[in-house]
Amino acid sequence: MKTLKEIKCGDTVKVIKLEGEGPVKRRIMDMGITKGVEIFVRKVAPLGDPLEVTVRGYELSLRKADASMIIVE
Protein backbone atom coordinates (compact mmCIF):
# COMPACT_ATOMS: atom_id res chain seq x y z
CA MET A 1 0.00 0.00 0.00
CA LYS A 2 1.13 3.51 -0.79
CA THR A 3 0.54 6.80 0.93
CA LEU A 4 -0.39 10.01 -0.89
CA LYS A 5 3.09 11.33 -0.03
CA GLU A 6 4.68 8.73 -2.35
CA ILE A 7 2.55 9.54 -5.42
CA LYS A 8 4.19 11.31 -8.36
CA CYS A 9 3.01 14.57 -9.87
CA GLY A 10 0.31 14.06 -12.53
CA ASP A 11 -1.08 10.82 -11.09
CA THR A 12 -4.65 10.24 -9.95
CA VAL A 13 -5.27 7.89 -7.03
CA LYS A 14 -8.20 6.63 -4.98
CA VAL A 15 -8.31 6.87 -1.19
CA ILE A 16 -8.42 3.46 0.54
CA LYS A 17 -8.36 4.65 4.16
CA LEU A 18 -7.20 7.37 6.51
CA GLU A 19 -4.79 6.73 9.34
CA GLY A 20 -4.25 8.97 12.31
CA GLU A 21 -6.28 9.96 15.32
CA GLY A 22 -8.74 12.56 16.50
CA PRO A 23 -8.47 16.16 15.34
CA VAL A 24 -5.92 15.50 12.57
CA LYS A 25 -8.04 12.81 10.94
CA ARG A 26 -11.17 14.96 11.36
CA ARG A 27 -9.42 17.92 9.66
CA ILE A 28 -8.41 15.75 6.68
CA MET A 29 -12.00 14.48 6.37
CA ASP A 30 -13.34 18.05 6.63
CA MET A 31 -11.21 18.93 3.58
CA GLY A 32 -13.22 16.38 1.58
CA ILE A 33 -10.67 13.58 1.67
CA THR A 34 -12.69 10.49 2.54
CA LYS A 35 -12.62 6.80 1.61
CA GLY A 36 -13.28 6.21 -2.10
CA VAL A 37 -12.64 9.78 -3.28
CA GLU A 38 -10.20 10.38 -6.16
CA ILE A 39 -7.22 12.69 -5.69
CA PHE A 40 -5.19 14.19 -8.54
CA VAL A 41 -1.65 15.25 -7.60
CA ARG A 42 -1.14 18.58 -9.43
CA LYS A 43 2.19 19.82 -8.12
CA VAL A 44 4.85 19.05 -5.59
CA ALA A 45 6.83 21.97 -4.16
CA PRO A 46 10.59 21.99 -4.93
CA LEU A 47 11.50 20.66 -1.49
CA GLY A 48 8.56 18.24 -1.51
CA ASP A 49 6.38 20.14 0.95
CA PRO A 50 3.50 20.90 0.42
CA LEU A 51 1.73 18.80 -2.21
CA GLU A 52 -0.89 20.51 -4.34
CA VAL A 53 -3.83 18.23 -5.10
CA THR A 54 -7.29 18.43 -6.65
CA VAL A 55 -10.08 16.81 -4.62
CA ARG A 56 -13.79 16.93 -5.49
CA GLY A 57 -13.16 19.70 -8.03
CA TYR A 58 -11.19 22.09 -5.82
CA GLU A 59 -7.50 22.65 -5.19
CA LEU A 60 -5.89 21.90 -1.88
CA SER A 61 -2.39 22.08 -0.41
CA LEU A 62 -1.39 19.28 1.94
CA ARG A 63 1.66 18.97 4.17
CA LYS A 64 3.75 15.82 3.78
CA ALA A 65 2.88 14.83 7.34
CA ASP A 66 -0.83 14.87 6.47
CA ALA A 67 -0.29 13.17 3.08
CA SER A 68 1.51 10.29 4.80
CA MET A 69 -1.71 9.46 6.70
CA ILE A 70 -3.73 8.96 3.50
CA ILE A 71 -3.52 5.39 2.14
CA VAL A 72 -4.21 5.25 -1.63
CA GLU A 73 -4.21 2.90 -4.62
Which 3 state secondary structure label does DSSP give 3? Answer: strand
2-72 belongs to which CATH class?
mainly beta
Which pLDDT score, from 0 to 100, does residue 49 have?
Answer: 85
pLDDT per residue of the chain (73 residues) written in tens, 0 to 9: 899 999 999 999 999 999 988 898 999 999 999 999 999 999 988 887 899 999 999 999 999 999 999 999 9
Domain layout of the chain by residue ranges: 2-72
* 11 close to 72: Cβ distance less than 8 angstroms: no
Secondary structure (DSSP) of 14-55: EEEEE---HHHHHHHHHTT--TT-EEEEEEE-TTS-SEEEEE
